A and B are shown apart, each in its own frame.
Chain A
Amino acid sequence: MRRKRMLTARSLRKLEGSLFIAPWVFGFIAFLGFPLLFSLYMSFHTVKILPNKVAYDFVGLKFYREIILNSSALYDKLIPYFQEVVLMVPVIVIFALMISILLNQKLYGRFLFRAIFFLPVIFSTGAVLLQFINQGEGNLGFLERFELGGYLDTFLGDSSWAKPVKEVLNHFVLVLWYSGVQILIFLAGLQTISTSAYESARIDGATPWEVFWKITLPAMSPFILLNLIYTVVDMFTFPSNPVIELVNTGNYGFNSALAWIYFFIIIIFLGLVILIYSFMNRRHAKTYA
């Protein structure tokens, strides 16, 4: 008797839970799951849109082979963008970490500075930012002032890195603008470190430098990983990235295959980021054990 009642209570709870999550699950199926599978299906087919129906001809891996082996679309547009992302991610995360530590100090006008550093989140997501990039705003000006361009040319030669490096330097301030959410995440993370940890370190005679490496950085480690992942995802789903032009050209099968390859590249990229992170983390733990 008792057991039966407990069982019904449990299943009632499960029912409630299902009720709460049901809209999201439905949304997932309708707006993500099904389109995802359908796009996978299309990537193996030639899609012809006829007046009254859509015809699918199976072509197997043809598009994938075409993109990876024969097409320059992927390499011309995506590789330089990836190179830019490789440069931007560490810049953004390190800048966000530094600023959040500064903003976490007790000082007058803290709110004002926080407001300033968070302001770009309001518009660093869209058309306005592109407008700034096109206008050449966000250039610090040191590229010309110190003739860094020429120096970069001789240093990087005509390796494929010359262009991305210059591109990033050219809108360096705007790169910093991407760090609004990251600064917030770090600020929230800094709040989780107890003040007593700092106090006891001070009593033991640790310098601020040591305190940073031994207390702040290890405590921030999970937030650094979170920010790395967030930044990478943000960069790759950003509306100015070059895949957009590629996806919107009409050939549904080909474009779906391209989108899937893009997705895999992002996954690999994320995997690499996590790998590098865990490697650095272990080394840091060893040095400061």
Chain B
Amino acid sequence: MRTILSDVKGRRFLTKRRVRQMRNVVLGKEINQGLVFKLILYAVLIITSYIYMNPMLKMLVKMVMNVKDLVDPTVTWVPSSIYLGHVAEAWKLLNYENSLMISLFIAVSVAVLHCISCGLAGYALARLDVPFKRTIFFLLMLAFIIPPQVIILPTIMFYTKLGLNGHLVTLILPSIFGFGVKGALFVVIFRQFFMTHSKSLEEAARIDGATALKFYFRVMFPLARPAILVVFLFSFVWTWNDTYYPRMFLSPTGDMPLAMKMTFIDTALGQFIQNGGFPEYVAEPIKMGASFLTILPPVLIYLFAQRYFIESVERTGLVE
């Protein structure tokens, strides 16, 4: 009798435990650990990602559609065949090899120079004894919020005076001193990064008799790898995509970087269409192809570096 009772009790206890286990799996001990929550999370993320990626996917699809697919309303996502003619056309219009080399040259040199010049300034503001530090920090903030539109006219005048207007060097020159596209932001990033380091390293170096400059390039700069990666990528990408400074400083007939070349495609295509070169709906896939060719190099670099990159951002404390 007793054994039966305890058996029933035990079984009831077992089922109760089973139910609780099941509930734990489905709903979770904490709400954000359960299966339901995870599923909802994934659903939300996947749907938003889809919405987010939609224009990019459309670009990829549109650019490989042939003329027949373009006019066929039943073809929205899956083209009947992959046609690369539009991309080839865009390649020619962009003068791709040439523009690519120019863009690479400018973006890489600006990014490298930004890493050096902004690193020095950021380190000084974070760790060194700088006279008028508060004033300089205020100027830095000012540099961050002043729109380039305010200072563009005098800058053009001075470049003209120096005989540099229209020259590609004008795009690189400011970055030697930590300016150029969002230079102030990079100084802030480096400053944030160097703030997190302990002071003892410097003291040890000082006792050993190292000068600040030597210490910086031997010890601090190599330690700043995450910050360098972040600044390099941001600087590269933003310089790559910038059309404002090239439009202001370069002449519309000379050599120009890819992103700027792209803005000229509209006019070039417009003329083609007017002269009866091809029907209007062909312009769109060519433009999409040009967009694709323009963003391809940074995207490739990003795909290669993104894992390190996002880890680095978290570690640099890209904050404040």
Q: Which of the listed residues B117, B125, B129, B298 has the most CB atoms from chain A within 10 Å of its own CB? A: B129
The answer for the CA separation of A36 and B148 in the assembled complex, in Å, is: 10
Is A19's CB within 8 Å of the partner chain B? yes
Of A102, A123, A223, which one neighbours B298 at CB under 8 angstroms? A123
Which of A6-53 touch B at CB < 8 Å? 10, 13-14, 16-21, 23-28, 30-36, 38-39, 42
How many chain B residues touch A (CB < 8 A): the figure is 91
Complex contact A248–B136 (CB within 8 A): no
Contacts A122-B299, A135-B287; A128 near B154 (Cβ below 8 A): no
Complex contact B298–A260 (CB within 8 A): no
Is B164's CB within 8 Å of the partner chain A? no
> Chain B's nearest CB lies how many Å from the CB of A34?
7
The answer for the CA separation of A248 and B247 in the assembled complex, in Å, is: 10
Is B139's CB within 8 Å of the partner chain A? yes
Complex contact A127–B259 (CB within 8 A): yes
> Chain B's nearest CB lies how many Å from the CB of A194?
15
* Residues of chain A contacted by B314 (CB below 8 angstroms): 187-188, 191
How many chain A residues touch B (CB < 8 A): the figure is 90
Closest to B320 in A: A226
* Residues of chain B contacted by A267 (CB below 8 angstroms): 145
Which of B116-150 touch A at CB < 8 Å? 117-118, 120-121, 123-125, 128-131, 136, 139, 142-150
The answer for the CA separation of A128 and B293 in the assembled complex, in Å, is: 10
Of B58, B121, B299, which one neighbours A123 at CB under 8 angstroms? B299
Of A189, A239, A255, which one neighbours B244 at CB under 8 angstroms? A239
5 smallest CB-CB distances across A and B, nearest first, come from A27-B177, A126-B241, A20-B124, A17-B128, A17-B130
Complex contact A117–B151 (CB within 8 A): no
Is B51's CB within 8 Å of the partner chain A? yes
Closest to A202 in B: B30
* Residues of chain A contacted by B131 (CB below 8 angstroms): 14, 17-18
Which of A81-114 touch B at CB < 8 Å? 99, 102-103, 105, 107, 111, 113-114
Bitwise interface map of B from 295 to 320 toward A, beta carbon under 8 Å scored 1, else 0: 10011001100110010011011111
Complex contact B117–A24 (CB within 8 A): yes
Is A131's CB within 8 Å of the partner chain B? yes
The answer for the CA separation of A32 and B139 in the assembled complex, in Å, is: 10
* Residues of chain B contacted by A21 (CB below 8 angstroms): 120-121, 124-125, 128, 130, 136
The answer for the CA separation of A165 and B128 in the assembled complex, in Å, is: 49
> Chain A's nearest CB lies how many Å from the CB of B281?
12
Complex contact A23–B176 (CB within 8 A): yes
Which of B243-294 touch A at CB < 8 Å? 243-244, 248, 259-260, 262-263, 266, 284, 287-288, 290-291, 294
Which of A115-169 touch B at CB < 8 Å? 115-123, 125-128, 130-132, 134-135, 137-138, 140
The answer for the CA separation of A138 and B51 in the assembled complex, in Å, is: 8
Is B211's CB within 8 Å of the partner chain A? yes
Q: Which of the listed residues B150, B158, B174, B310 has the most CB atoms from chain A within 10 Å of its own CB? A: B150
